[in-house]
Amino acid sequence: MTLTLFGRPSTRTTPRRPLLPGLSGNVSLALGVAILLVMIVVCFGAPLFTSYSPIAVDATNPLAPLFSPGHFLGTDEYGRDLWTRVIYGGRYDLAIAFGATAVTLVVGTVVGVVSAHIGGRTDAVVMRIVDLFFAFPFIVLVIAIIAALGTSLINLFIALWVVSWVSYARISHGQTLSANQYGYVVAAKALGFSHLRILSRHLLPSVLPGVIIFAMVDAVGNVLLGASLGYLGVGIPEPTPEWGSMISSGQNFILSNWWLSLVPGAALVVLGVGLSLVGDGLSDLLRTKR
C-alpha cells in the first residue's frame, strides 16, 4: 500500500504476511516438515520412483553391489531391489508414526480431559486403570497382544492403540486439573455453561498444545517400536518390506553387504529426526505464543 504525504507518494509499504507464519523463522519446524513431506511423497508415490515390485524375487541377481546397473542400492539375498523395498517399506513406518499415534492421541486426551473434569469416583476408577497399564512394561504388553492376535499391520495398530492411550490420558488429566483452576473456566462453570461447551471451548484448547508436542515424541517411539518388533520377527511378516525386518535380515551379511542393514537403518534415523524436529519446532512455536 502506497501512502501520500503532502502531495508526494511515500515508498513505505505495509509488510506482507508470510503464507505459513508458523514456519517463518522456525528452522526446526521448517526442516522437520520438509523432511516428512519428502518422505511421504517418495514412499506413497513409490511407483513413480521405481519400476520394480518390492516382493519380486530375482534368483539370478542376488546380493548385487551398490551402483549396480538397474539397482543403484543393490539387491538383497533374494534379488529384490533394495531401493524399492526401502521406499515401499516406508509406507508402513509412516503409517505407524501418524496412524497409530493419532488414534491414541484422540482417545487418551478425551479420556483424560473428561475424567478430570467430571472428577469423583469416575475419575478415581479411570486413573486406577491408567496406573494398572503403567504397572506393566510397555513392550511386553504389545508383544503379548500381537502374540495373541497374530502378526500383521492391523494387529500391530491394535496393540499400540490398546496400550499407548494411557500416556495421553495421564498428561491431559494433569493439565486439565490445572486448567480447572483458571479464572475463565471457573467463570464458565459459574455461568452454568454445559459440560460440552466447557470441555470443547475452555479445557481442550489449554490441554492440546502440550499433548501435541508429546505426540511427536511418541510418534518416534512408535516407529522405533514397530521397527524393533520387525527386527524380532513379531512385527509385519515377510515378504512385506518393513525397515526393522530388513535390518534383521541384512545383519546376516553385515561384513560383505553392509548396506543391506545400513540403508533401512538410515531411513529410520531420518524419519525419527524429522519427527523430532517437528516436535522441537512446535514447542518453540507454542512457547512464543503464550
Evaluate whether 104 touches 218 at the Cβ level (below 8 Å).
yes
Predicted local distance difference test score (pLDDT) of residue 22: 54
Q: What's the CA gap between 272 and 222, in Å, rounded?
A: 10
Average pLDDT, the chain: 85
Amino acid at 219: A
Q: What is the CA angle 173-130-216, rounded to 5?
A: 65
Q: What's the CA gap between 132 and 290, in Å, rounded?
A: 35
- Statement: residue 42 has pLDDT above 80: yes
Predicted local distance difference test score (pLDDT) of residue 285: 79
Amino acid at 128: R
- Statement: residue 18 has pLDDT above 60: no
Q: What's the CA gap between 29 and 49, in Å, rounded?
A: 27
Helix (H, G, I), strand (E, B) or coil at 5: strand
If we measure between CA atoms, which residue out of 16, 14, 77 comes closest to residue 251? 77
Grid coordinates standing for 263? 540403508
Amino acid at 161: W
Distances 114 to 162, 166, 195, 276 between C-alpha atoms, Å: 19, 14, 9, 29
Amino acid at 211: V
In CATH, the number for domain 26-51+79-289 is 1.10.3720.10
Long-range contacts of 68-74 (CB under 8 A, 24+ apart): 73/259, 73/263, 74/257, 74/259, 74/260
Predicted local distance difference test score (pLDDT) of residue 5: 47
Grid coordinates standing for 245? 525386518
Task: Read off the pLDDT of each residue in 110-120 and give the average, rounded to a whole number.
Answer: 89
Q: Which of 40-49, 127-136, 151-160 has the highest mean pLDDT?
A: 40-49
Question: Which run of H or E residues covers position 9?
Answer: strand 8-9
Task: For residue 19, name the pLDDT band (cuts at 50, 70, 90).
Answer: very low
pTM value is 0.83
Q: What's the CA gap between 204 and 108, in Å, rounded?
A: 12
Evaluate whether 143 touches 85 at the Cβ level (below 8 Å).
no
Q: What's the CA gap between 167 and 160, in Å, rounded?
A: 12
Predicted local distance difference test score (pLDDT) of residue 135: 86
Q: Please confirm whether the linkage preceding 47 is cis (ω < 30° from 0).
A: no
